[in-house]
Chain A
Amino acid sequence: MAFLQTHHLTAFYGDFQALYGIDFILDEGETIAIVGANGAGKSTFLASLTGRRLVEPKMIVFDEKPIGGLRPAEILSRGIALVPEGRQLFPSLSVEENLLVGNYGRKVRGPWNLSRVYSLFPILKERKHQASTSLSGGQQQMVALGRALMSNPRLLLCDEISLGLAPAVIKDIYVALDEIRGEGSSVVIVEQNISQALDAADRLYCLLEGRVTLTGKPSELSMDRIRSAYFGG
């Protein structure tokens, strides 16, 4: 039985259909990359997984239980945490407070706590009392990652974590992601940066206009096939 599975997942924004029956499988411990152009449905897919789009319960099965359409807080407590696109830190909270909000009202046992996040990202410890808005983009991304880790997720969803960052910073973030995977989390990364996604992932899904157009292991996929699945045609 897969760790996370979606069955013909459909999602709408009003009358606009954003996902047309996505079938997706993730095994425990796997890292999966989802690539696709703007508007392919990647963010809608993550929104559905985190309870922000109304979907049928059985469309999403996590750890053998249907979770489609549950409230976001309930899904988080089942062990799925999101690093949202654009980082979305809380501007009136300090760095440390942003991290602490990540395990609001929950005391889940696991590898991640404040000191573990600070050892992953030492710079954040130095800046812990600063406003999150005063950090660089890369440091803000570290806070967003750390905030999601504080809930000790079994599945970590990362939405466009390299967007707008310098290449050296992206490398740091992905090195950290390796360490996170080492602690046992399964990971889904949504990326526009295909080569970055291919490097990090065990398997790849390509979305186009709300449908899966390609799936497979990075080593088995040629750049040409990915390109045509990405752009269509």
Chain B
Amino acid sequence: MQILEVIIQGILLGGLYALFATGLSLIFGIMRLVNLAHGDFMIVGAFAVLVGVNALALPILLAAILAGCFMFILGYVLQYLLLNRTLGRDILPPLLVTFGLSIILQNGMLETFSADTQRLNMGAIQEQSIQLFGGLAIGVVPLLTFISAVLVIMFLNWLFYQTETGRAFRATSDNPEIAQLMGIDNNRIFALAMALAMVVVTIAGLYLGARATFDPLIGPGRLVFAFEAVIIGGLGSFWGTLAGGVILGLAQTVGAQINPEWQILFGHIVFLIVLVVRPRGLFPRVAG
């Protein structure tokens, strides 16, 4: 029975990692931009929710919605005015610029919010759990996290495969120059993609802050998990990213059962194994 509990916890943790990773996968898939500040934006999102709760005394759900809107605009403007200028044949400029952004964001948050650890309080559901058969229990917040990840991925799949905007996303991803000839404005498409990724990252930040403490400097560590989930799952498929998150979550939870110090190590080992055995991930979609 304990094994079952470990597996369930691992899967639910995977939902959180999938939320970390989906925005990263979205951005890389559409514009081949590796956003090294992605983890820091997640912490910005968590702080944005915190400001809504503490300074504006809003209920957490409303604070999260407002934070999502704020991050949407931030992402759009940032991409339109700054990151679009770094895109081109050379992959180094976006790496350097987002690395710089990561440092700026960390220090900006340190100045504004201090290095104190923070936590988001989900209210009544924070510590609740659902009792299953045989004394098995699953936490409400981890379950909500996983459900949110599935809903986010369902929404993105609908957007990508059922709408005109999604066609433009995929066409631009395939061939930006020809997409422009079809009247698609790449700069706006990229800005919209970044804005969407920022909303997803805010949702991730919300659950990150509800499950554990956070401070301005933990972004890069979470970025590593996001990378691992994306690469395990394979580039270009959102469900693959969810699978990658779940595999990473399972590996870490199982590792922690054997020895609490091995949690992170086990995740990295599984990641390396996947990288060696299937370098393009388990469910790759992007060809060549």
Contacts and interface: CB of A to CB of B under 8 A. Distances in A.
B167 A84 contact: no
Interface stretch (A6-14, A71-79, A176-184, A223-231): A71-79
Interface residues of A, number: 24
A87 to B, nearest CB: 10
A63 B99 CA distance: 48
A104 B184 contact: yes
B128 interface: no
The B interface, classified by DSSP as helix, strand, loop or mixed, is helix
B175 interface: yes
Contacts of B181: 50, 52, 72, 76, 81-82, 84
B171 A101 contact: yes
B173 interface: yes
B182 A104 contact: yes
Contact of B174 (A50, A81, A90): A90
B174 A92 contact: yes
Nearest to B164: A104
A101 B175 contact: no
Interface string B254-288: 00000000000000000000000000000001010
A90 B170 contact: yes
Contacts of B285: 92
Interface string A106-150: 100000000000000000000000000000000000000001000
A147 B287 CA distance: 23
A138 B254 CA distance: 54
A77 B173 CA distance: 22
Interface string A93-107: 100010011101110
Which of the listed residues A88, A92, A100, A104 has the most CB atoms from chain B within 10 Å of its own CB? Answer: A92
B24 interface: no
B180 interface: yes
A73 B164 CA distance: 16
Interface in A131-177: 147, 151
Interface of B: 164, 167-168, 170-171, 173-175, 177-185, 285, 287
5 contacts: A92-B285, A93-B174, A101-B182, A104-B168, A104-B183
